Chains A and B, each alone.
Chain A
């Protein structure tokens, strides 16, 4: 068992800070990479050693540059590399290169990254282990007759999808066998028109599912456990916004069943380290394996909060060859956790990114609140990286308590300089469908309004606009006009207007 004394973090932002916090707790030194894009980023101040990569002229950003990272690891005498999430975290070749160079990769084996990352192979493993999945046609469907036959086998409802493209083109949901032939022809024709290729395939259609994922932890000796589920149905275009643990859709029996399947899959793939098995849960409580993520995930804190287990610490121990000290029976779920992703996005403009400088930042400090962040006041949210400002995590003793605390916590976050997803969460925690737990992955799409404001908020804003108007135009002393750039008040027009009264 090789002891890890120095970890190079091949990442930035909040996850880099997160990893460094645990490493520090374990007495392990950390190395961070400084880039020209954000030379004064917060994560740099947490590292023991900062490698200055600001002169790097390569076209490839350093966090995607395998050779560069290995080079830096060697230069700084790193024993191990933690890839975080995104970037090269699920790049089997990178994991391999680390091993080739005698560097421990804090994650799974290159082989399992490759196998599980390949959707076809992952599905084959699931199939061989009788893990429930959404069935699909093996190849493209030749004609209407075949379509009917395959749909029979899969079981209605099914969805016809174009092989060569997406965006809803060439896509049709078929609920009744008698509509199959007709819709197949329509879908094919549409696919041909849109993509010059009429080829379509068929998959089981899971109606308004919930997205439920299971956290897996495995060691290099073959011990694998699950740490319960996370409910991640609040997503927009497959981007998660809010996650909670556990899920109100699962009871103890279903949790055990799904958890067992998750462990079975990870086991069959020879998996170790932290990983996540994703399922879709339909309204009849049937679950279907979708895919497995071979990395630590953004939303890992909610699992940590209810199990009391530090996942980063476990990853490091496992990577060093330690045997997992936690048994499945040791895993207890305590309380309820909710995480809100506070991103620099304009909810009123359909969540369009709103990059910019964070002028004022005040984050809450209560015992029921945990904030994972990689920014401080003065940080600039850059378009080239993600728009995350902070993860606001609250813990309650049950869901109702967690929701109440979430409401309070959201009003304690103060951010000026960029627009954020805060108004969306303020609406969410008050929305009946979210409160009663009946929401599914279609929740956001079905919303009429993405944000919340109480009745008097608009009135206050109106009062302020009026006050400004008065100060600028109707002041008793003189007509005060502000000629700063953003204001375009025409003094002649004003004079003319006032003279009418």
Chain B
């Protein structure tokens, strides 16, 4: 059961914006762009830290967070979040999301007028039900705005130090189980 090679011949990396990247296994150190193939290497040295060597150029990279099959990667100063799925897992995910009555997107709105003092998530952040996404200052109190769902943040409209009115959309979340 736990022995031998798993019969997976490809993996899908799905971004927070739902772009799907397919990689055949075993994973090659090569990226294909159109018809051309380019070598890619993950390296580390004292001066630059961890970096990716691509087309003769070094790019800074860091793994910010990983949780089960979700990874937050900071590459060339931009954060990306991916979910890695096997073909079976991906198929199952699509079936689940087609379930009737299932809300795909959640819009978190300001419950009252006030000032956003803190934005706690960014595009791609994973949130769990109850996790705070922003802090709203109103009536001389600071209020945590919590996410009512679990999922991935797909858009952050709230900006720190700006005023909002009731029902202003703060954060958009793609609902996941």
Q: A467-B27, A501-B86 are in contact. Are A460 and B52 (CB under 8 A)?
A: yes
Assess the B78–A468 pair: CB atoms within 8 A. no
Which residues, 141 to 163 on B, are CB-close (under 8 Å) to A? 156, 158-163
Q: Cβ of A498: which chain B residues have Cβ within 8 Å of it?
A: 2, 6
Among candidates A353, A466, A486, A501, residue contacting B6 with C-beta atoms closer than 8 Å: A501
Among candidates B1, B23, B75, B121, residue contacting A461 with C-beta atoms closer than 8 Å: B75
Q: Cβ of B118: which chain A residues have Cβ within 8 Å of it?
A: 352
* Tally of A-B Cβ pairs under 8 angstroms: 160
Assess the A488–B67 pair: CB atoms within 8 A. yes
Among candidates A349, A416, A466, A487, residue contacting B62 with C-beta atoms closer than 8 Å: A416
- Mask of B60-104 contacts with A, CB within 8 angstroms, 1/0: 111101111101011111111010101011000000000000000
Q: Cβ of B33: which chain A residues have Cβ within 8 Å of it?
A: 456, 459
Which residues, 460 to 480 on A, are CB-close (under 8 Å) to B? 460-470, 472-474, 476
B35 within 8 A of A: no
Assess the A419–B79 pair: CB atoms within 8 A. yes
Q: A416-B62, A489-B68, A499-B1 are in contact. Are A360 and B48 (CB under 8 A)?
A: yes
| Chain B: CB-nearest residue to A499 | B1
Assess the B31–A456 pair: CB atoms within 8 A. yes
B-side binding surface: helix, strand, loop or mixed? Answer: strand
Taken together as a complex, chains A and B put the C-alpha atoms of A453 and B75 apart, in Å, by 10
Assess the A348–B60 pair: CB atoms within 8 A. no
| Chain A: CB-nearest residue to B11 | A466
Among candidates B67, B73, B162, residue contacting A464 with C-beta atoms closer than 8 Å: B73
B177 within 8 A of A: no
The smallest C-beta distance from A150 to any residue of chain B, in angstroms, reads 27
| Chain A: CB-nearest residue to B55 | A456
- Mask of B1-20 contacts with A, CB within 8 angstroms, 1/0: 11001111001010100010
- Mask of A347-385 contacts with B, CB within 8 angstroms, 1/0: 011111100000110100000000000000000000000
22 contacts between A and B (CB under 8 A): A194-B113, A348-B156, A349-B119, A350-B159, A350-B160, A415-B60, A416-B60, A423-B77, A423-B78, A457-B78, A458-B21, A461-B80, A462-B23, A463-B13, A463-B21, A463-B23, A464-B61, A465-B73, A472-B66, A487-B66, A493-B68, A498-B2
> Beyond A420-B77, A462-B21: 20 further Cβ-contacts under 8 Å?
A194-B113, A237-B161, A348-B122, A352-B122, A352-B160, A360-B60, A362-B48, A415-B60, A416-B49, A419-B74, A461-B78, A462-B13, A463-B21, A464-B71, A468-B63, A474-B25, A487-B67, A498-B2, A501-B6, A501-B8
Chain A interfacial positions (CB closer than 8 Å to B): 166-169, 194, 237, 346, 348-353, 359-360, 362, 411, 414-416, 419-420, 422-423, 451, 453, 456-470, 472-474, 476, 486-490, 493, 495, 497-501
